[in-house]
A and B are shown apart, each in its own frame.
Chain A
Amino acid sequence: MRALYLVAAVAVLALLSFSTYTVQETEQAIVVQFGRPVGGLVSEPGLHFKLPLVQTVHPFDKRWLEYDGDANEIPTKDKKFIWVDTYARWRIKDPLRFFQAVRDERGAQLRLDGIIDGETRNAVASYDLIELVRSSNREFQLTEDLAGIGAGEAAVKILTGRSKVAQIILDKAAKITPEFGIELVDVRFKRINYTDSVQQTVFQRMISERKRIAERSRSEGQGKAAEIRGQKERDMLAASSVGYKNAQALKGAADAKATAIYARAYGRDPEFYQFLKAMETLNGAFSQGTTAILTTESELLKYLKNDAGR
């Protein structure tokens, strides 16, 4: 009797485990009966029931899934060879179609490789490199020392830009993927790099550009220094000449004033002034070495002859 109970319990448990299944929060599932899907999509997570043995459950991930393509060597429209490395995110939107068309994720990756690679090649080949690198027309900020560098690239008008090109790839590829039950949710350029040979020429260009800037900087320095020296000469001469001019003006004004003063004073009796000045001048005009020949006709010495002076 007891053994019977035990067998019954085990049987019930087995039946339960064969007729239930769980769907994870990250999953969705389809139920297949003799190879034919039944009951539609199970997207509610939790515990579910099915017929034991005849129905099998195929779970599929519901999340955004990885796609990281290999880097491809692609020429741009302006014939520059670059490595383009894209990544994408996709999800299984229609598990039934997905199951029928590609069976599992490995099959999906294979198809995505083909689709995304193809669309990436198409897109890259129809744009110039600069359109794939830049996203906007913002102007580069340059310090004064580096003015003029990269001017050619800065002047290019960006019509599409990196994000929009990626969007174009996404749009085109996303049109194809629904037939595999796949929704492509994002495609992005992960890396864009020069191929080795192009990189070498780019490095050479960068080096020559820098050399040009360095030389310009040096000669600018010398030029500016010469300019400052010239300025120095100019300012020195300006200072000294203005000083001379002002000094002369001051002296002239003083001379004029003095002249006026003398003229006014001495003008009262020019003859007396002449006399006074003559006396003064005579007094200072002779030195010890002078030999003077005087005559007794003079006002003073006439008295040498007699007291009458005659």
Chain B
Amino acid sequence: MAREVWTQGPFERGGFRIPPIGRPPTATLRAIVFGLLGLMLLLTSYYQVEPAEVGVVQRFGRFVRTTDPGPHLKMPFGVETVTKVPVQRQLNMEFGFRTTRPGIRSEFAPPNRETIGESVMLTGDLNVAVVEWIVQYRIKDPKAYLFNVRDVPETFRLMSEAAVRQIVGDHSVDEVITIGREEIARQSKEELQRLCDFYGVGIEVQQLVLQDVNPPDPVKPAFNDVNQAIQEKERAINEAWAEYNQAVPKAKGEAEQAVRSAEGYALERENNALGDAQRFDAVYEEYRKAPAVTRKRLYLETMRELIPKLGRKVILDEKARGVLPLLSLEGERKEVKP
């Protein structure tokens, strides 16, 4: 059956018949062949190197030269091949995160197994830190970049991970998260460059910058609590100092005030003494000249001043001694009061 279907196919009916082609003139054919050859020659021998690139030319696979940006010619038909390497361009590699759309507000891919795997690492105090970083690099030797190591970008990735982990492994988690960041980035960069030179990948590491460095999520609240506690400590100390600063200068001022007023007292006391002494001296000088008279005069003057000040005055005479019992001082007084 099948065969019958097969034999009834269109081939059986039509047969293998090639439609006759009109034989073109030899000259035209030759022109077409040479034209095509010429076009191929041109296409396979011309190439252009973009700015920021160099062309690495190989003849039969063997490296022969590098060429600078601009239009160039090479041997045609695959005898020479060219590989363009962007030597001037700064290349960027991200670890622990991925930028999906760079811009003023860059967008980042949500963390996934790959990025988490890159960023989680052990610190020197056997704690765990989540470190994100970037590496910026440049191909400084295109020949080395192409010919020494296979799959340089992937190799470079591994080297970067190994280098950063080695350096982070020699720092405590607190150094990694806070004070040691720059030092770690610097040492990691050095280690990575050392590895690059050792592998001969022809890469110059320009920058290695730590990005977000955090404790792992479950531990984060505890780390934050420490920061808060440190703040609280500082606040308590500051408040105490504020109280101190409020009270102690005031006390010092008051003490100073007491001293100053004592100085005033001293001056006053001394001057008063000097004044009194001078006065006495002066009076005494005169008194010495006529003591008896002066004495009497002073006495009488005092009395004159004194007696008017007294309220009630009772004058007794020796001969009138009998009066005394009759005098009621109390009654007299009441009489005086209005």
Query: Measuring CB to CB, which residues of chain A are less than 8 angstroms from any residue of chain B?
Result: 22-27, 44-47, 61, 63-66, 68, 87, 89, 129-130, 133-136, 138, 140-143, 145-146, 149-150, 153-154, 162-163, 186, 188-194, 199, 202-203, 206-207, 210-211, 213-215, 217-218, 220-222, 224-229, 231-232, 235-237, 239-244, 246-251, 253-255, 257-259, 261-262, 264-266, 268-269, 272-273, 275-276, 279-280, 282-283, 286-297, 299-301, 304-305
Contacts and interface: CB of A to CB of B under 8 A. Distances in A.
B215 interface: yes
A51 B10 CA distance: 48
Interface of B: 58-63, 117, 120-128, 146-151, 154-155, 158-159, 161-162, 165-166, 169-175, 178-180, 198-200, 215-216, 218-219, 222-223, 225-226, 228-230, 232-237, 239-241, 243-244, 247-248, 251-252, 254-259, 261-263, 265-267, 269-270, 272-274, 276-278, 280-281, 283-284, 287-288, 291, 295-296, 298-300, 302-303, 305-306, 309-318, 329, 333
Contact of B312 (A149, A191, A243, A292): A292
B299 to A, nearest CB: 6
A305 B315 CA distance: 11
25 contacts: A63-B147, A129-B126, A134-B170, A140-B125, A145-B226, A146-B174, A153-B126, A153-B172, A162-B166, A191-B161, A194-B122, A207-B222, A217-B226, A221-B236, A225-B236, A225-B240, A247-B261, A250-B263, A251-B262, A262-B277, A269-B288, A280-B302, A283-B306, A286-B306, A294-B314
B174 A142 contact: yes
B318 A254 contact: no
Given A66-B151, A66-B155, A262-B276, 6 more contacts: A26-B147, A46-B60, A143-B178, A214-B228, A275-B298, A293-B316
A287 B307 CA distance: 10
Given A243-B254, A300-B303, A289 B199 contact: no
Contacts of B296: 299
Nearest to A192: B122
Contact of A243 (B199, B258, B274, B317): B258
Nearest to B128: A202
Nearest to A216: B229
A24 B223 CA distance: 56
A299 B147 CA distance: 140
A232 B247 contact: yes
Contact of B241 (A25, A133, A228): A228
B146 to A, nearest CB: 7
Contacts of A136: 170
Given A64-B149, A290-B310, A264 B169 contact: no
Given A142-B172, A190-B161, A213-B226, A202 B127 contact: yes
Q: Is the interface of B mostly helix, strand, loop or mixed?
A: helix
Contacts of A199: 128
A220 B233 contact: yes
Contacts of B218: 203, 207
B154 to A, nearest CB: 7
A24 B150 CA distance: 13
Contact of B329 (A25, A129, A149, A291): A291
Contacts of A226: 240
A247 B288 CA distance: 40
A221 B316 contact: no
Nearest to A247: B262
B22 to A, nearest CB: 20
Contact of B274 (A134, A194, A249, A261): A261
A89 B156 CA distance: 12
Nearest to B172: A140
A259 B180 CA distance: 74
B162 A189 contact: yes
A262 B205 CA distance: 95
A134 B124 contact: yes
Contacts of B287: 269, 272
